Amino acid sequence: MNNLKEGVMNLNRLYDYGECSINEDLKYLEDLKFLIPIEAKVVITKKWIKFSGKVRREEFVSALLCYEPSLFRTLLLRVYKEACVIGRSGDGKALFEFIEGIPKFADALLKIKDHELEENEKIKAFYQVIFNGYPQYPSILNKLKIMQLAEDVNDLEIVPMGANPNENWISGRRITSSISLKALKGKNEFTLTPYEYSDFDVEKEIGDVLSYPWETFLTLLAMVDLEYKVGGFEGLAIRPTDISNPYNTQELELYIFNIKGKEIKVGLLDNFIYDFCTVSDLFLFPDKTPEVSRVVFDLLRVHKMDFKDREYVLNEAFKDLIYSKDIIIKNRSRKLKKLLKEYIEKLRYTL
């Protein structure tokens, strides 16, 4: 990695937005199947996504840096040579910890164990960024253990972004699980994150919702709820955990009405959404449960949702705007809405 600072910036951008311009310094992550090159971009893979759900952001980024070939080789040699010293000292417990600590890297270690250890300025620069100085044996071993949490997984085809939810909420799409990312001026080419919507000329209120994936999702979920009611029966309800303070930001619960009309608490709204995305092959990155409940309160503040009859529903004026003037949310989000309704129907029949 020729420019360490730029490399760290790119890794953080990938963590947030899922893609960046092709960079020779990240080629080693392509070789390891963490990234895939598509046209002039590199895009995060399912392997990257699954690993991102197992550790904190800082640990994740530093672990990917440690995979840089020259640094990785140096770290393996460091722990091996120190383990040899431990073995000669007779500390069986520490030696066992070493042997148990890096089973996935055993083959790589055997290939280099007789090499000389060279810690040049490039390696020392990595040490400073990753370990805040010269690392000791336990911290290196711990980092190698974290790196082994990454696993190869089968991926799905990555297709370019489209201009409406029907084209963007599709199997294999990488979708940010963050609710607080800054909207990009122009949208990504392959991953769904906030961007200033300008694909079609729409009403400002509609464009604002389409600019943020989880506002779009919640609007469609509320539309499914509404369409159940228009059909003459209850299908689902989003409710506060603290009914006495429904306008205070809090975790929300989802209720499903089964085919017998009985109200069943499914659990937290956020968990329902994560499960829906998992079943639908919508890959959330980082792989964490999105705090979408908080977005409901954002929509309340701008009068796109209301709290009415003990549940959160579409605001009447916003609902009228969607059904009377809109062409994107109403007409070009039907595939996602259908997918949502099918998932809810399965729950209604099994609960």
Among 119, 147, 175, identify where a domain stops: 147
Residues 198 and 324 in one domain: yes
Q: What is the pLDDT of residue 98?
A: 74
Indicate whether 236 belongs to any domain: yes
Indicate whether 2 belongs to any domain: no
Q: Is the dihedral of CA 242, 247, 253, 259 positive or negative?
A: positive
Residues 106 and 196 in one domain: no
Q: What is the pLDDT of residue 95?
A: 65
Mean pLDDT of 217-225: 98
Instruction: Look over the chain and give the mean of its residue pLDDT values, rounded to a whole number.
Output: 95
User: Please, is 208 exposed, middle or buried when counting C-beta atoms within 10 Å of its C-beta (0-12, 13-18, 19+)?
Assistant: middle
pLDDT in tens, 5-20: 999 999 999 999 999 9
Residues 137 and 179 in one domain: no
- Boundaries of domain holding 265: 165-350
| Cα dist from 284 to 231, 276, 288, whole Å | 32, 11, 7
pLDDT in tens, 118-132: 999 999 999 999 999
Indicate whether 35 belongs to any domain: no
Residues 230 and 115 in one domain: no
Indicate whether 5 belongs to any domain: no
Indicate whether 284 belongs to any domain: yes
Indicate whether 316 belongs to any domain: yes
Least confident span in 82-86, 274-278, 321-325: 82-86
Q: Is the dihedral of CA 28, 34, 38, 43 positive or negative?
A: negative
Q: What is the pLDDT of residue 277?
A: 98
* Domain count of the fold of the chain: 2
Residues 186 and 331 in one domain: yes
Indicate whether 183 belongs to any domain: yes
User: Please, is 259 exposed, middle or buried when counting C-beta atoms within 10 Å of its C-beta (0-12, 13-18, 19+)?
Assistant: exposed
Among 120, 147, 174, identify where a domain stops: 147
Residue 92 — very low, low, confident or very high, per pLDDT cuts 50/70/90? low
The answer on pLDDT for 2 being more than 80 is no
Residues 275 and 330 in one domain: yes
